[in-house]
Structure 1
Amino acid sequence: MDPVRIAVVGMGKIARDQHLPAIAGDSGFSLAATVSPHDPGVAGVPHHKSLDALLAEGPPVDAVALCTPPQVRYELAAGALKRGVHVFLEKPPGATLAEVAALEARAERVGASLFAGWHSRFAAGVAPARAWLSDRTVKQVSIIWREDVRVWHPGQAWIWEPGGLGVFDPGINALSIATHILPRPFFLKAATLMLPANRAAPIAADLAFCDTAGAPIHMDLDWRQTGPQSWDIIVETDAGTLKLSRGGAVLTLPSGTTHSEDREYAGLYARFSTLIRTGRSDVDTDPLRLVADAFLRGKREQVEAFEE
């Protein structure tokens, strides 16, 4: 079977750090083109300044990976799907739930695959954590996701604009894991969002969730942490404590700790390949729904201005 000819649209940090190496390492894909109005692309690979130009002028592509900010992703995805091109949506899959639903319906109509890629779900410890929790009773959950925005999102003004999610851009990674591993659905009870005086999106948040059996789930998000970063999920159960750390790469169970290398994006592209081969889509919006609920129900508090 010939490799899927894929174009990467949006050549920012996530595309260069993760998507390009993952594509290069997967024999099921070949990098056919890149698209960016500002970045010059990759040596030896055709480059266009817009997706419309690529689709009109070639080279031909079977799929696109959209690595742009979410606020502009709907039009790009809709244009690709209109031509029957498979679409990989970097997280979050869109700026609103309604636009993602519209894309899912369009993909089904045209027979193309649409993939909402939650990369943290492919961290090494996530699948075994899900399996271990499947027959346990969860008593309480603590999620601590604290990092330094200057390190991970330097100069990315879009992330502070409406639709950019602010601290929920990394926080949604934690929610993508939690919604995947916890055995029961959960929902928001209360939230406080801390917004810098000069920004439209929060820099920190404190959230209280509850699962359908009443177990409390507390989430602490902060983009102001310097030094060691914290990406931890701790689940207290009737059989002891489970901890996922380093964003899901390290799993600690009562029986011991396992460490594994980062293979998140390799897992994403393997999944995308399977979806294309089998004619299916995978568009889970549960993490984005919880973030939307936080903006819907959360109390706002103004904090000091944030400057790069």
Structure 2
Amino acid sequence: MSPIRIGLVGVGKIARDQHLPVIAANADYELAAVASRHGRVEGVPNFADLAALLANATDVDAISLCTPPQARHALARQALEAGKHVMLEKPPGATLTEVYDLIDLAREKGLALLATWHSRYAPAVEPAKAWLAGKKLLRVHISWKEDVRYWHPGQEWIWAPGGLGVFDPGINALSIITHMLPNALIVDKATLEVPANRQAPIAATLEMHDHQGLPVRAEFDWRQTGPQTWDIIIETDQGTLTLSRGGAVMSINGVPQIEQKEQEYANLYALFARLVAERRVDADLAPLRIVADAYMTGRWVRVEDFVE
């Protein structure tokens, strides 16, 4: 089969770090065009926006959207209306309704749509899920703490409404845990710490449970300096499982079992190629629903100004 001619929209840090190298390394794809207000990619046609790309690069089969979530719905709808398959960076939209609208449109037109959750494809996630099968789960603790100045330097969109703030990385942990646990999680309490000069939280604590009473606590913080923390600890009746480094390492009772190099985006693009071939939708909104519930039920606490 001919490679999927893909157009990339948004040439920022995540596009350069992950999307472009993975597309170049995958024979199922050919980078056909790029649209960005500021960034450029050598060797392919570059356009100022998606409308110009669609008008001129008419042989593009699919669009990968790496823009901030606030603009993603309009762009994805534009691409789907033009008959293009669509991959959405996480989070898939600024609201749940936006993404449900895209799901309906993609199915109506028989096009592929992928709402990506890259952390679910960390190498230890599936082995960890398999290890948990058949065990009684006792409690879950999530600690996802990193330095916003290092990972998102000067990115104002993350602090704007719809940018999610600390939930931008925190939703990665939620994407893992909602994939691994057998039941849906209900948010009991949430505390959102919001800098006085910003519109999104810099830290958050969530208390959740499932219908069997499993307690799940999540702590997210963007003020961590030094070593970064991306850990999920699950206590069971047969030992304690720890996922660390964002799902790259799995330990049982403190003894490492799996430690592999991440291939998250390579796996995502492999999945998207299958979805394109099958003209199928893959869009699980469980992680975004938890964030929405936290915003709806959370207690907002003003903290000191954030200074870049």
Q: TM-score scaled to structure 1, two decimals?
A: 0.98
Instruction: Name the counterpart of 2:289.
Output: 289
**Superposed displacement of residue 184, structure 1:** 2.0
Matches of 2:59 and 2:154, distance apart in 1: 33
How far apart, CA to CA, are the structure 1 residues paired with 2:27 and 2:85?
17
Partner of 1:27: 27
Aligned to 2:102: 103
Structure 2 CA distance, aligned partners of 1:279 and 1:42?
28
- Counterparts of 2:192 and 2:244, CA distance in 1: 24
Is residue 237 of structure 1 aligned with residue 236 of structure 2?
yes
SS state at 2:282 partner: coil
- Measured against aligned partners, the alpha-carbon deviations of 1:182-235 in whole angstroms (never above 9, x if no partner) come to 122211000100000000000001110011110110111000000000000000
Q: Structure 1: 5+ residue runs without aligned partners? A: none
Aligned counterpart, 2:258:
258
Q: Which letter maps to 2:296? A: L
1:220-254 C-alpha deviation (Å, 9 max, x unpaired): 10000000000000000111111100000001124
Q: Secondary structure at the match of 2:88?
A: strand
Residues 249, 256 of structure 2: 8 Å contact kept:
no
CA distance, structure 2, for counterparts of residue 150 and residue 264 of structure 1? 23
Counterpart Cα distance in 2 of 1:129 and 1:210: 20
Aligned length: 307
Counterparts of 1:137 and 1:36 in 2: how far apart (Å)? 49
CA drift of 1:256 comes to: 4.2
Distance 2:131 2:295 in 1: 32
RMSD: 0.9
Runs of 4+ in 1 over 6 A off after TM superposition: none
Report 1:132-281 matches (<5 A): 132-254=131-253, 256-281=256-281
Identity %: 57
Where does 1:102-121 land on structure 2 (aligned, <5 Å)? 102-121=101-120
TM-score in terms of structure 2 length: 0.98
Report SS of the residue matched to 1:88.
strand
Within-5 A mapping of 1:80-95: 80-95=79-94
CA contact (8 A) 2:31 2:44 kept: yes
| Native 8 Å contact 2:124 2:247 kept in 1 | yes
Deviations 1:52-104 (A, max 9, x none): 00111115210011000000001100010001100000000000000100000
